[in-house]
């Protein structure tokens, strides 16, 4: 090991720096070897985050068990005031967290954050974050602004309490008032197929299933959509915070690659983000000729030695 490292100091040094707008994809080639950071974890082609707003009890009783059985995990954006006092008890919220689902922050009173002073925005987000943390043991990492209403001021303040804010989403539901937005199974399949085809991050938003303002007329459509999404090749289904963290790490962390004479690569990650908040491993894609392999590394970890085949 010592000899290998010594010889690597004498080898060519290949800095590999990621531009902030490239979603983490940057390649450095030498002697037909390339190393890049995958745009999504596991070198998936696209990502999907299934999010749920307002803490409707259907989400616990109907949605979460189906997600568990399919190996999917969702992000549940909960309203702080009165949380745990209704049907969605703290036992149930803690259970969701322990099963790997994400508990997110949806404000204290479901107020339009754009329409209240900055101090009130802070209060809405802090109170909810504190309350959730006191029960599940850690702060929510994600925020969904009520009514999906935000501006730069709201986003700046939200950044004090989260690593990610939901600023885009595909609303799913079949309430009659949805009109043209009626979401049946073919429409949802077509949407997620497009996400995979285009290599994007799709985020869905659902409220109730049998109850609530956008309840479903044909709930089987949603169950079949979940099954379909879970079966799609190349789609990374993960919580909102996980995908957001991965993308931020891929965009902002860098990797130095040294090529050693013994046929090894020494890859040294460098990342200035907070390791307590950004905990997703980064997937590296290593190509040499016809060979393409992926490995996961800790962006805050020690240098990784990889032996080329
Ligand atoms: Zn809401």
Per-residue confidence band for 32, with pLDDT thresholds at 50, 70 and 90 = confident
Higher pLDDT, 102 or 175: 102
207 CA → ligand 1 middle, Å: 8
106 CA → ligand 1 middle, Å: 7
54 CA → ligand 1 middle, Å: 5
Q: Is the pLDDT of residue 26 over 60?
A: no
217 CA → ligand 1 middle, Å: 20
114 CA → ligand 1 middle, Å: 14
The residue-averaged pLDDT of 83-96 equals 97
Domain 45-233 superfamily per CATH: Glycoside hydrolase/deacetylase (3.20.20.370)
Q: Is the pLDDT of residue 40 over 70?
A: yes
The residue-averaged pLDDT of 48-74 equals 97
Which of the residue ranges 109-113, 217-221, 246-250 would you say has the lowest mean pLDDT? 217-221
226-248 tens-digit pLDDT:
999 999 999 999 999 999 999 99
Distance of alpha carbon 287 from the chain centroid = 26
222 CA → ligand 1 middle, Å: 19
127 CA → ligand 1 middle, Å: 16
The domain ranges of the chain are 2-42+252-307, 45-233
The residue-averaged pLDDT of 28-47 equals 85
Query: What pLDDT sits at residue 183?
Result: 84
d(CA 235, CA 226) in angstroms, rounded, equals 12
137-165 tens-digit pLDDT:
999 999 999 999 999 999 999 999 999 99
């Amino acid at each position: 090991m010592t000899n290998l490292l010594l010889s690597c100091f004498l080898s060519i040094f290949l800095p590999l720096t990621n531009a902030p707008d490239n979603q983490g994809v940057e390649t450095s080639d030498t002697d037909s070897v390339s190393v890049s950071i995958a745009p999504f974890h596991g070198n998936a082609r696209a990502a999907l985050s299934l999010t749920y707003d307002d803490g409707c009890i259907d989400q616990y009783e109907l949605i979460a068990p189906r997600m568990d059985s399919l190996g999917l995990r969702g992000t549940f954006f909960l309203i702080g005031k009165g949380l745990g006092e209704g049907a969605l008890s703290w036992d149930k919220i803690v259970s969701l967290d322990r099963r790997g689902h994400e508990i997110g922050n949806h404000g204290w009173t479901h107020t339009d954050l754009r329409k209240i002073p900055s101090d009130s925005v802070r209060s809405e987000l802090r109170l909810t974050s504190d309350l959730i943390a006191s029960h599940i043991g850690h702060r929510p990492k994600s925020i969904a602004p009520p009514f999906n209403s935000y501006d730069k001021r709201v986003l700046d303040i939200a950044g004090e309490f989260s690593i990610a804010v939901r600023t885009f989403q595909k609303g799913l539901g079949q309430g009659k008032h949805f009109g043209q937005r009626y979401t049946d199974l073919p429409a949802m399949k077509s949407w997620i197929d497009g996400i995979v085809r285009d290599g994007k991050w799709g985020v869905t938003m659902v409220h109730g299933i049998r109850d609530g303002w956008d309840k479903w007329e044909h709930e089987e459509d949603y169950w079949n959509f979940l099954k379909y999404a879970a079966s799609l090749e190349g789609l990374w289904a993960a919580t909102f915070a996980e995908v957001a963290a991965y993308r931020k790490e891929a965009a902002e962390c860098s990797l130095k690659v040294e090529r050693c004479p013994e046929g090894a690569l020494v890859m040294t990650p460098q990342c200035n983000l907070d390791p307590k908040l950004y905990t997703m491993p980064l997937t590296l894609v290593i190509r040499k000729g016809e060979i393409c392999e992926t490995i996961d590394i800790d962006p805050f970890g020690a240098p990784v030695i990889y032996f080329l085949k």
